[in-house]
Amino acid sequence: MPIARIATFLLVTSFLSTIGNLGVPVSCALDDDLSTLNILSKIRIDRSSTARASTDFGHIVEAVPSGVFHPVSPSDIAALIRLSLFQQTPFTVVPRGKGHSSRGQALAAGGIVVDMCSLARGDHDHRVTVSVNGMYVDVGGEQLWIDVLRATLEHGLTPRVWTDYLRITVGGTLSNAGIGGQVFRHGPQISNVHELDVVTGTGDMITCSPIESSDLFYAALGGLGQFGVITRARIGLQRAPKRVKWVRLAYTDVHSFTADQELLISMGSGFDYVEGQVQLNRTLTEGRRSSSFFSAAELARLTELAVDTGSAAIYYIEGAMYYDDHSAAGVDQKLDALLEELSFVPGFVFVRDVSYVQFLDRVGQEEQKLRSAGVWDVPHPWLNLFVPGSRIHDFAAGVFHGILRDTKPVGLILMYPMNRDKWDDRMTTVTPPGEDVFYTVGLLRSAVNAGDLERLERENEAVLEFCDREEIGCKQYLPHHSSQEGWRRHFGAKWGRIAELKAKYDPRAILSPGQGIFPFPAASSGAAPATIAAS
């Protein structure tokens, strides 16, 4: 045995006793040069590491991995996957950015969780590269969107589409879709990607685009981590504004609210961002008297409006108009002209003037307040739905005026429309079929008191049962289904193609089993996945 190999063997002797539990013969670990030992040395099996990777933002599901892998390059991830495939009984592999899922999608019971943020620590300076001439940014899948924002703004550029919360990873949002108030104009984040680097479930490192390996490109975008690990994305950019007119308009009638929202997303110019919120009556009359946007006096006025009108909810259109030094002189006139076309309650228009960064990072600022109040790290039984535009009033009547009418949720209820023609149906994400306009409705509620989680789960189930019973035609965003049949219904006509791509790019179904889309073969056969145990 070469001297270098002997030295390495002595350094890892205490660790080798764990390899048998992983299913790797010691002779294999030593015979394959030192690559296997190199990979194993990056797996942490201590209780503190596995405990941190055992839950996610939802705090609803717990699944303990056998170890947490800390790669320094995408090739490390490929080597880990190949190591799994070498075993008679492979172990599952799950990439984890900030763990901002709610139902265990980033967890790996008995498998290996890949700490994607380790990639940034290994080569941070080269993981975000801006091309000013090409108007794009190459960014590691582990990078946080807030860091992408800072890097691109140094060149006066910015991505077109943002999620409301920026302290999540690029790979995480692209594995779902990435939605926010700019989607009506530019499509979701996945519609603004030019190229990807993906490590597939076969251990291959593939660069893909609409031209090269296009089937993998479209599968990975919105693919819920089923086909590979996104390690790099090339994202289109545009010139960055400097400031934002941030506007909220109040409505007591859902028909006027949706009519104005759909008018706004049909305009070629106007707001650069359009979202909407639903505030239930009890939230206003019995809720907290503070807000990151509204003053106490404004909240009092809104409460009085709800009481006087007897409305079950107050609806807000949230809009933003971007501007810079060149357009600053005319922005107020442009905003006034736009507001004249809308039917909000007279006098209930609220305007803030903030920087572009302040606007995009508004939820990050709210996060600090919630952490201080101890209501951030609590269960989040979120339910996100895409609702057909033709049925949005039926949905509002049944849910906001029915199931949730007398509730007082802690958290947000979002409701805003999108244009179907901004989405590419070749991607894995599913939207309501046959609709030019559909709405995202996010019940983003938190369980802060004993008994809240059970109650909120019952309400979520009641909403889903209502949608099924009334044939609303909703599709879940950030989906969760308890059976493969549920996933078949979710994907609909796309299911056959998705199954084919899964067989091609992850034939042993080792990637992201927490989604529950494709049962892990070892589990279905009664065998336990290979695990790592402390020696």
**Amino acid identity of 428?**
T
SS3 220: helix
Catalytic residue among 70, 100, 380, 480: 100
Question: Any residues with CB less than 8 A from the CB of 525 and at least 6 apart, and which?
Answer: none
C-alpha span between 475 and 300 (Å, rounded): 36
Best CA proximity match to 39, nearest among 93, 76, 89: 76
**What tokens does 111 get?**
């498998």
What is the pairing mode between strands 67-69 and 112-115?
parallel
The DSSP 8-state label assigned to residue 390 in this structure reads G
Residue-level pLDDT at 34: 63
Residue-level pLDDT at 123: 56
Catalytic residue among 56, 275, 318, 506: 275
For 496, half-sphere exposure in the C-beta direction (CA atoms, 13 angstrom radius) is 1
The reply to whether 124 belongs to the active site is: no
Residue-level pLDDT at 281: 85
**Amino acid identity of 525?**
S
CA quadruple 226, 232, 235, 241: dihedral positive or negative?
A: positive
What is the pairing mode between strands 112-115 and 93-96?
parallel
Residue-level pLDDT at 372: 86
Catalytic residue among 56, 164, 262, 361: 164
* Residue 238: CB atoms within 10 Å: 13
Best CA proximity match to 511, nearest among 200, 237, 232: 200
pLDDT, one tens digit per residue, over 258-276 is: 999 999 999 988 999 999 9
C-alpha span between 410 and 286 (Å, rounded): 11
Q: Find out whether 408 and 282 touch, Cβ atoms under 8 Å.
A: yes
SS3 217: helix
The reply to whether 275 belongs to the active site is: yes
pLDDT, one tens digit per residue, over 95-127 is: 999 999 999 999 999 999 999 999 987 655 579
pLDDT, one tens digit per residue, over 197-225 is: 999 999 999 999 999 999 999 999 999 99
The reply to whether 70 belongs to the active site is: no
Averaged in consecutive runs of 10 residues, what is the pLDDT profile of the chain (535 residues)? Answer: 33 40 44 72 95 95 96 96 93 96 93 95 76 98 97 98 97 98 98 98 98 98 98 98 98 97 94 96 72 88 92 95 96 97 97 97 90 89 98 97 88 96 96 95 94 95 98 96 94 97 97 90 47 33
